[in-house]
Amino acid sequence: MSASISIKNITKRYDSVNVLDDINLHIEDGEFVVFLGPSGCGKSTLLRMIAGLESITEGTIEIGHERIDTLPPGQRGVAMVFQSYALYPHMTTRQNMAFGLENIKVAQDDIDRRVNDAAKILEIDHLLDRKPGRLSGGQRQRVAIGRAIVKEPKAFLFDEPLSNLDAALRGRTRLELAQLHQRLGSTMIFVTHDQVEAMTLADRIVIMHNQKIEQIGTPMEIYQYPVSRFVAEFVGSPAMSMLPISAITPAAEGVCVEVDQVGKIATSVTLPDDFNPKGAVLGVRAEDTQVVAATENGLDLTIKVVERLGDRTLLYGTLANGTELIAEDSGRSKAKAGDTIRIALSSNATHIFDGNGLAYHGQKEV
């Protein structure tokens, strides 16, 4: 049975306040989709509406062409994993995983099979007789995921499930989730404000902002072709640098932009005839810069902070007009705070954003 999910014209209001505004989204059977956005954008609310934990003001939700928004949560064929593990402290791992199935009178043989299979998948079969107090945070989260797996749902819904884990454990659990999706092939929706989680896990990312969907795409489409300045600054670490544009002139390929007190920068960006340059900025990612000799064409950057990451070095500095820019150098960079260096920008990897934040891109390929 197909477990595709169709969200059609979903609106959520509390009194006169819109929390979600006319959301439309189709998720394919077996797809791993991540809802990504800042706090308050509506991503968790949308997930809870799919689960049946929030009511819908307008619109419909279907799973496999069957309308589910009129059904109670237990009949929707979804299983939700929350940020808090919500395990019963007096029950063992086995009992926690089996409890929901016992409540709906599943046969004991079937319960045992499902619990044992899920425990093997999650590599917690040696922990089945332990209570939560004797488990680490990562093990507790796996038990919570196992409790969802035994329900054999059409779709899994994850609401920031890694937020309570430390950095190292988050990384390991993130990989385990990716492997779990490969093994199960189930439809999964994952909510997070962490872009690394989104880029690592997603087949497609849904960027949410101001109660609307800002952009939908694969991780690299989102990263290399952001539709707006918001997406460009939200996705990517470090954030994209933005240089204010004072003038734009046609060039052989694309346009040439001028930045006050900095100079002219060639780009491969093509702009429409009605482009309004007022408030426009040039966007540049750190990896699309290169430290060059002082005799070459480029921009002079005075370094304020050097961040050494092993394989690469990030240089945080200011241009002649005071605009902040982040450049990248090799891991063996000898640059230090206080130095003024010259950097060149890749013309194919620049972005121009108009005064409304709408994006126009160079010829970089996904």
Contact by Cβ (8 Å): 47, 191:
yes
List the domains of the chain with CATH numbers: 5-228 (3.40.50.300), 241-361 (2.40.50.140)
pLDDT given at position 161? 85
pLDDT tens per residue, the chain (366 residues)? 579 999 999 999 988 888 999 999 999 999 999 999 998 899 999 999 999 999 999 999 999 989 999 999 989 999 999 888 789 999 999 999 999 898 888 899 999 999 999 998 888 999 999 999 999 888 898 899 999 999 989 999 999 888 877 877 788 888 888 988 998 899 999 999 999 899 999 999 999 999 899 999 999 999 999 999 999 999 998 999 999 999 999 888 889 999 998 888 989 999 988 888 889 999 999 999 999 998 898 999 999 999 999 999 999 999 999 999 999 999 999 999 999 999 999 888 889 999 999 999 876 544
| Tens of pLDDT, residues 250-259 | 888 889 999 9
Contact by Cβ (8 Å): 42, 19:
yes
The helix (H) or strand (E) run that includes residue 101 is helix 93-103
The helix (H) or strand (E) run that includes residue 146 is helix 137-149
Residue 98 CB-density burial (10 A; 0-12 exposed, 13-18 middle, 19+ buried)? buried
pLDDT given at position 95? 93
The closest of 182, 184, 176 to 150, measured between CA atoms, is 184
pLDDT given at position 201? 93
The closest of 177, 11, 162 to 82, measured between CA atoms, is 162
pLDDT given at position 363? 66
Residue 5 CB-density burial (10 A; 0-12 exposed, 13-18 middle, 19+ buried)? buried
pLDDT given at position 79? 92
Distances (CA, A) of 41 to 18, 35, 163, 174, 198: 11, 10, 17, 23, 16
- Classified as helix, coil or strand, 26 is strand
pLDDT given at position 40? 87
The closest of 340, 351, 281 to 315, measured between CA atoms, is 340
pLDDT given at position 366? 41
Q: Which residues contact 300 (CB under 8 A, 6 or more apart)?
A: 319, 320, 340, 341, 342
Ordered DSSP codes for 164-211: TS-HHHHHHHHHHHHHHHHHH--EEEEEES-HHHHHHH-SEEEEEETT
- DSSP H helices, 185-299, are 195-201, 219-224, 229-234
